[in-house]
Each structure stands twice: as structure tokens, then as C-alpha cells.
């Protein structure tokens, strides 16, 4: 669907004021340094798996500074690395993942997360690694928004427990995307509070792919008018809402 609305000077000022206020935040600096920069290093199986584990564990869970998932991601060695899961007998992999998630208090539904990750691991190891990595590595050089969207939708359709938001979480964390962003409650709250798009965003409907595309089209149109990438707007919104009120 084409969005035919006039982005006002007030809308542009709202976005630019946010970016100015948040430009020194480490999260925003990191997004500037990683996502719009090219060329990018090739995505490996181990790296993709670690990001998949982390992003699946953040569903419905706090993921900001000082959170359990942030501490979990920083562990060396990573407790659920691809190599660690490969070493475990197939019959014991789900139990391993569940135990590690519980030990580190990661994820709001560790049993469901463990089930999804075990299924995804089996599918990747069976025959999906080549196509998954081919899709991700197609974004190593600057790509059109439509190409990013195609890769995000591919991941959402092929991985269990990964919907429109989570697939974009994965690609954004891998540093691959500029235009496709995860739309969560923070983003919808900011959009609705600031009224920078001409309708109210219904967070509960974002699990529907077409509605997700519709809202993301609006965000991309707004960012285009402001001369910024949506991935930087996402980081700025996130950092602004982390601050104590």
C-alpha cells in the first residue's frame, strides 16, 4: 500500500530533536558505526546462531542496559554457542538449552524458547544453513529496502518462534539492515505519543505481516523525509526510553 500523506515540518523537527538529544548515547553511536557502514564481514553459522538465540530469548523480555539478556550475551564462552549445542546428543539438546536459559534467568518462557531453538537448530543443521547464510550475506553491500524486507520475511517464514519483529531484530543485531527495523512497544508508544504518522499504531496487530509492512512503510517514509535511516531512529527511540523519568 502506498502512503500518501504530507510529512510536516513539525514531524521532521520532532524526529531531528530526538536524534540530537540521543546522538551521544552508546547505543545510537553503535548503530551509526555498524548498520550504515560498508563493506561488512561475512555472516558465519556461529555468529548467526548466537544472535538467533539471543533475539529469540528477548521476546517479551527486557533487553536494555543491565538486563539479564545483555549479561548473557556478554558471557565468554557463550553458553549456548553453536559448537556447544552441536556437541550435545540430539535427544538432550532441548534440555541443555532450557537448563542454560533458566540458570541465567533469560527469557520469559524458557521452555517454549528451548523448544523453538531446538527445532530451528535441527532444521538449520539438516539443510537450511546454505539458504539462510546466502540470504543474510546478500546484505553485506548496500541494498534496497525491498531486498532487506525480502530477507526479513524469509527468516520469519522459515524459523519457529520468529515473527516479523524478531526477524528484523536478528538482521539489525547482525548489522545488516538500514531500513527494516523491529517495531516493538517502545516504537509504537513513541509514534503514538508524538503523532508523527497520521494514524494510531495498534501494537497487537503487528504479528500480521501485512500490517507490519504497512506500519514500516510509514516509518520509512517519515525517515526518508527527515534524511535518516530507520535503524538510527530505532536506536534513538530505544535509548530515550531507557532513561529514568
6 band by pLDDT with thresholds 50, 70 and 90: confident
DSSP letter string, 139-166: TSS---HHHHHHHHHHHHHHSTT--HHH
Q: Which of 29, 36, 68, 18 is nearest to 187 (CA)?
A: 18
CB count, 10 Å around CB of 221? 17
User: What does pTM read for this prediction?
Assistant: 0.92
Cα 174 from chain centroid? Answer: 9
Cα 63 from chain centroid? Answer: 11
Q: Which of 166, 216, 212 is nearest to 59 (CA)?
A: 166
Output the CA angle 21-164-152, nearest 5 degrees: 90
185-239 pLDDT per residue, tens: 899 999 999 999 988 999 889 999 999 999 999 999 999 999 999 999 999 999 9
Q: Are 206 and 191 in contact (CB under 8 A)?
A: no
92-124 pLDDT per residue, tens: 999 999 999 999 998 889 999 999 999 999 999
Q: Give residue limits of the domains in the chain.
A: 9-36+181-242, 45-138
What pLDDT does residue 67 have? 75
What pLDDT does residue 244 have? 53
155-200 pLDDT per residue, tens: 999 999 999 999 999 999 999 999 999 999 899 999 999 999 988 9
Cell of 2: 502506498
CB count, 10 Å around CB of 17? 11
Mean pLDDT rounded to a whole number for the chain: 93
Percent of the chain with pLDDT over 70: 94
Amino acid at each position: 500500500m502506498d502512503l500518501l500523506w504530507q510529512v510536516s515540518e513539525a514531524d521532521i523537527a520532532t524526529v531531528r530533536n530526538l536524534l540530537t538529544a540521543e546522538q551521544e548515547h552508546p547505543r545510537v553511536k553503535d548503530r551509526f558505526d555498524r548498520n550504515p557502514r560498508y563493506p561488512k564481514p561475512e555472516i558465519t553459522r556461529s555468529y548467526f546462531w548466537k544472535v538467533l538465540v539471543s533475539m529469540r530469548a528477548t521476546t517479551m523480555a527486557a533487553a536494555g542496559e543491565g538486563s539479564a539478556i545483555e549479561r548473557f550475551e556478554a558471557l565468554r564462552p557463550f553458553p549456548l554457542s553453536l559448537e556447544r549445542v552441536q556437541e550435545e546428543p540430539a535427544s538432550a539438546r532441548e534440555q541443555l538449552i532450557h537448563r542454560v536459559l533458566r540458570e541465567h534467568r533469560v527469557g520469559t518462557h524458557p521452555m517454549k524458547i528451548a523448544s523453538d531453538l531446538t527445532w530451528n537448530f535441527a532444521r538449520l543443521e539438516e539443510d537450511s544453513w546454505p539458504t539462510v547464510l546466502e540470504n543474510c550475506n546478500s546484505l553485506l553491500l548496500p541494498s534496497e529496502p525491498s531486498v532487506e524486507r525480502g530477507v526479513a520475511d524469509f527468516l520469519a517464514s522459515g524459523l519457529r518462534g520468529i515473527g516479523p519483529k524478531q526477524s528484523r531484530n536478528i538482521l539489525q543485531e547482525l548489522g545488516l539492515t538500514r531500513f527494516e527495523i523491529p517495531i516493538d512497544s517502545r516504537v509504537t508508544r513513541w509514534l503514538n505519543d508524538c503523532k508523527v504518522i497520521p494514524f494510531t499504531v495498534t501494537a497487537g496487530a503487528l504479528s500480521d505481516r501485512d500490517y507490519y509492512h504497512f506500519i514500516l512503510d510509514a516509518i520509512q517514509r517519515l525517515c526518508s523525509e527527515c534524511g535518516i535511516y530507520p535503524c538510527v531512529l530505532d536506536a534513538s527511540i530505544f535509548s530515550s526510553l531507557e532513561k529514568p523519568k
